[in-house]
Structure formats: C-alpha cells, structure tokens
Amino acid sequence: MWPPSQETISSTKAALSVAASLAATAVLLRSIATDLIPESLYNCVQSNLYKVSNRLSSKLTIIIEEHNGLAGNQMFAAANVYLGSKLSPPMKKLKVYKPQKEENLQVCMDKDQELCDYYKNVKLKWVLVSMINNNVSSNNLNKKRDHSVTYEVRYFEVTFHKKHLDMVLGSYFPYILQKAKDIEEEKKTVKLHTIDYNGTDYWNSIVLNHPSTFDSIAMEPEIKGMLLEDLNLFLGRKEYYKRVGKAWKRGYLLYGPPGTGKSSLIAAMANYLRFDIYDLDLKEVQCNSDLRRLLIGTGSKSILVIEDIDCSVQLHNREDAHGTNDDDKVTLSGLLNFIDGLWSSCGEERIVICTTNHKERLDPALLRPGRMDLHIHMSYCSFTAFKTLAFNYLGIQNHHHPMFDDIQGLLDKVNATPAEVAGELMKSENVDIALKGLINFLQSKLPQES
C-alpha cells in the first residue's frame, strides 16, 4: 500500500541502519587485517578465496585469440564473420567498413561490446576485447628499421554455463566454423595480396578486378582443357590427399617468352577457383625467417604466385648454403621447404604458381613433381589463339574473315605474342582496318631478304 505506514518506515530505517553498520564493520575489519596480517598471508587468503569463488561459480569463459604464435587463429576469424551476421539493434556500437570495389558493407562487432547468442537453447555471451601492445620491436621482420611498433591485440571471450563445455567444443564451435565458411563463400570477392610489413600478417590486399577468364584467354584449346581438368580434379581430392599423406596443394610452372599471357592465365585461374592471389615478390624478402612468416600468413584456398623466379632474386644453391646461417638470406632450400617440406602443410587447398621466361635457368630441384606438378608452356600466338582474340576484341563470331587466311599464313612464319596481336587489334574498332593493321605488323616481322 502507498503511502507506507509509520511502522513500515521504522522497519526500513532499522534495516538500513543495520546494513550501514555491517558495511562499516567490514571496512574496519579489512583495515585491521591489512595492518595486522602479513601481506604474503593476506595475498594467499585472497587467492584462495578467489579460487573458491571460481569453483562455486557456474560460469566458464573461453578465450579465442586472434593469433596463435605466428599463425592466425581460424576460430577467431570465423567467429568474427559469424557474429557479424548475428548483430541486432540492442548493440550500442558496430564496426562498419566497405572494401574498395566491393558492393556490400562489412559489419562486425566493435571492441568491448557484448553479444548474446543462443545455440540449442543455451545462452552464450560474447565480448570482443582489444588491447594495445607497445613493446614489440619490428627489426626482426625488417632489418631496415629498428624501432618499437604499436599494434592491436584482440581476442573474444565467450561465457556460458560450465556444464555445456562439451557441447560448445564439440558442436557449437564447429557450427560457427561451417557457418562462417558458408557466409564467406556467398560473399566471396577475389583479392590480390601484396607484401606489407606494417600489417599484422605482413600482407595487404585489394580487390582483384581482373576480367580474365578461361573463355577470354588466348591459348591452345588442348592446353586449356588439360589445365581445367587438372584444377577440377585438384578441388575434389581433399580426402585423397589426406589418405596418401600429402598436403592438399598443387604446383604449376608457367614458362615462355614475355607477353604470352602468363599473368592473365593466373587471373583466370583465380576467377575460376574463387581463390585469393598472394603475390610474393622475393626481392622484398630479406631472409628465410621473413619468408616463413609471410608464407604462414597466406590463407587456405589461395594461389601463391612467384613471378620471374629465375631473376626475381639470386637464390643461393643448396650446396652453397652449407656452413652458413640460412636465416640471414633467402635460400632455395628455404623456398623449397615451404613448397614441399614441413611448412607446406600450414594450410590447405593451395596452389603455387611460378613463372619464368627461361625454364632452363631453374634448379632441377624446383621442377620435380610435388613442387611444380604441371609445366605449361605459354607459346607465341597460334591461329587458334588469334581467333579467340579476334572474337574478344572485334566481335568476329563466325571465326572467319577474308583476311584470316593471310593472317594464318603469317602466324605460321613469325613469332608474335598474344599481347602483340591484341595490341594491334585494339588500334581500331573497324574490323577491316584492325585486321589490315595486324597483317602489316606481322609482315614487318618477316625475315628481310638480303
């Protein structure tokens, strides 16, 4: 009833007085304990009380760190994607960003925010924690600099009733990994990664906006068909690789003169597989330890590209490395150890592509199966490849034109790269003018009669 009676008011005052007295007594006892009890004994009592409190508590918290030593934590990345799809209006802060050339906004939890998820009628509380670390020197990864760097350390705390631990580890976390994979596949944008020593995993990325496809690539149909068949076989052999005890990866060597379409073929493979590209410029890498860190930072379902491997860096021969400290330089042994050694198992569903203009200059150890499994010769422009280019650039759909016979005869006599042929076809949108210009160009490459 309201207003309260005089008796109720008197009872309330008495209760408040008792509470205040107890609080004052607690403060007094704590002060006495601090003065009279040795600090070591006091800390021991506090520690034991904390342990007893934890044992009595029904809650359990699991920490999911963003990185585990050198490698990124797949569970953290999956949780970040999964929780981003579970955000709701009660959240006070969200983190939103939009990568360049991507259509969709990326939404995820901001630090110190709390999100409650429910799985099989079990409540799980997630919190993203962020701390700043100022005490790490960067000179281990870039010998040109010797100063401290500031970087962010992040981890998730997920809290739930301790009786559900087996369910969380055995069912909930695998569910999150699969859901995150499904979400990423649905929103997948192929990216190109380049070396960036300032990043947490030493890679920086942009969206790969290269239009090359297997339909538009100018190469022999037999070689194209063989490559597509090999890629499709690779994609479906996860259990096979596991059964035979090999890392789930495939190596390709693309060799041939400049301008024959090696880079365009790599882009076509990435677009076909929906795999990210990691462009490893060995001239930017100073030693084997740097190389290991960079390679561990590459993700699964990726293509590692080492272009012009014969001249990008003077790799030391395996024999020359004896008696020296391999971590002081990038060695062939260090590179091979990742391509086909123990480090090759750090990730799965990976493709390694090396390109060269001079296959004969490469160490035979790099070329053997298990490292470079398939060697693809990127040759000069054939008449078949020309017809693909004529369709792409001039829209000639019936694959025939009165000038085609002359062009076929010239392509049989001279070496012209697909890039050179494409360059001539781009000079005019008029079909006859463009083809006539190509004929003149090819004639200029004929051997001059003495």
Hey, how many other C-beta atoms are within 10 angstroms of the C-beta on 412?
9
365 and 228 in a single domain? The answer is yes
The answer on pLDDT for 266 being more than 50 is yes
283 and 159 in a single domain? The answer is no
**Cα–Cα distance measured from residue 262 to residue 376, given in angstroms and rounded to the nearest whole number:** 10
Tell me the three state secondary structure of residue 351: strand
**Cα–Cα distance measured from residue 270 to residue 109, given in angstroms and rounded to the nearest whole number:** 30
Portion of the chain with pLDDT greater than 90, in percent: 46
The answer on pLDDT for 19 being more than 60 is no
* Omega cis (within 30) before 3: yes
Lowest mean pLDDT among 65-74, 117-126, 311-320: 311-320
User: Which tokens in the block code for residue 404?
Assistant: 């085609």
312 and 347 in a single domain? The answer is yes
Domain membership flag for residue 449: no
Please give, one letter per residue, the 3-state secondary structure of 169-219.
Answer: HHHHHHHHHHHHHHHHHHCCCCEEEEECCCCCCCEEEEECCCCCCCCCCCC
Choose one of 377, 404, 434: the last residue of a domain.
377
Domain membership flag for residue 407: yes
pLDDT at 220: 92
Backbone angles phi, psi at 270, to 5 degrees: -65, -45
Largest CA distance in the chain: 127
Domain membership flag for residue 236: yes
Tell me the three state secondary structure of residue 59: strand
Closest CA to 338 of 293, 277, 276: 293
Domain membership flag for residue 105: yes
Domain membership flag for residue 312: yes
216 and 356 in a single domain? The answer is yes
297 pLDDT tier (thresholds 50, 70, 90): confident
Q: How far from 205 is each of 74, 196, 212, 439, CA to CA, in Å?
A: 18, 9, 19, 41
User: Is pLDDT larger for residue 132 or for residue 17?
Assistant: 132
User: Which tokens in the block code for residue 398?
Assistant: 């019936």
**191-195 sheet: strands from edge to edge:** 203-207, 191-195, 276-279, 302-306, 350-356, 249-255, 374-377
The answer on pLDDT for 325 being more than 80 is no
pLDDT at 400: 80
Whether residue 356 contacts residue 362, with contact meaning beta carbons closer than 8 Å, is answered with: yes
**Cα–Cα distance measured from residue 378 to residue 220, given in angstroms and rounded to the nearest whole number:** 9
Write the single-letter amino acid at 66: E
Looking at the structure of the chain, the number of domains it has is 3
Residue 394's domain spans which residues?
383-444
216 and 268 in a single domain? The answer is yes
Lowest mean pLDDT among 128-137, 303-312, 410-419, 441-450: 128-137
Read off the pLDDT of each residue in 339-361 and give the average, rounded to a whole number: 82
Query: Tell me: the pLDDT tens digits for 30-50?
Result: 666 556 666 666 566 555 655
Domain membership flag for residue 93: yes
Read off the pLDDT of each residue in 121-130 and give the average, rounded to a whole number: 94
Distant-in-sequence, close-in-space partners of 384: CB < 8 Å, separation ≥ 6: 220, 221
**Cα–Cα distance measured from residue 308 to residue 285, given in angstroms and rounded to the nearest whole number:** 15
**Cα–Cα distance measured from residue 432 to residue 450, given in angstroms and rounded to the nearest whole number:** 32
410 pLDDT tier (thresholds 50, 70, 90): very high
399 and 416 in a single domain? The answer is yes
222 and 371 in a single domain? The answer is yes
Average pLDDT, the chain: 82
Domain membership flag for residue 278: yes
Dihedral, CA of residue 261, residue 263, residue 267 and residue 273, to nearest 10: 90
Read off the pLDDT of each residue in 83-92 and give the average, rounded to a whole number: 76
182 and 236 in a single domain? The answer is no
Helical (H) or strand (E) element with 377 = strand 374-377
9 pLDDT tier (thresholds 50, 70, 90): low
Query: Tell me: the pLDDT tens digits for 140-152?
Result: 444 444 445 566 7
229 and 161 in a single domain? The answer is no
Portion of the chain with pLDDT greater than 70, in percent: 74
Whether residue 227 contacts residue 376, with contact meaning beta carbons closer than 8 Å, is answered with: yes
Domain membership flag for residue 10: no
pLDDT at 293: 84
167 and 301 in a single domain? The answer is no
The answer on pLDDT for 6 being more than 80 is no
Tell me the three state secondary structure of residue 231: helix
Distant-in-sequence, close-in-space partners of 204: CB < 8 Å, separation ≥ 6: 193, 194, 195, 196, 198
The answer on pLDDT for 393 being more than 70 is yes
pLDDT at 411: 96
**Cα–Cα distance measured from residue 381 to residue 420, given in angstroms and rounded to the nearest whole number:** 9
175 and 224 in a single domain? The answer is no
Tell me the three state secondary structure of residue 1: coil
Read off the pLDDT of each residue in 231-259 and give the average, rounded to a whole number: 93
Backbone angles phi, psi at 256, to 5 degrees: 150, 175
Half-sphere exposure of 26 (CA within 13 A, CB side): 6
Here the CATH number for the domain that contains residue 312 is 3.40.50.300
pLDDT at 138: 45
Q: What is the value of pTM for the model shown?
A: 0.66
Please give, one letter per residue, the 3-state secondary structure of 301-328.
Answer: CEEEEECCCCCCCCCECCHHHCCCCHHH
The answer on pLDDT for 303 being more than 60 is yes
pLDDT at 108: 75
Read off the pLDDT of each residue in 375-399 and give the average, rounded to a whole number: 92
Tell me the three state secondary structure of residue 443: helix
Lowest mean pLDDT among 13-22, 268-277, 348-357, 423-432: 13-22
Point out which residues pair with 62 in neighbouring strands.
158
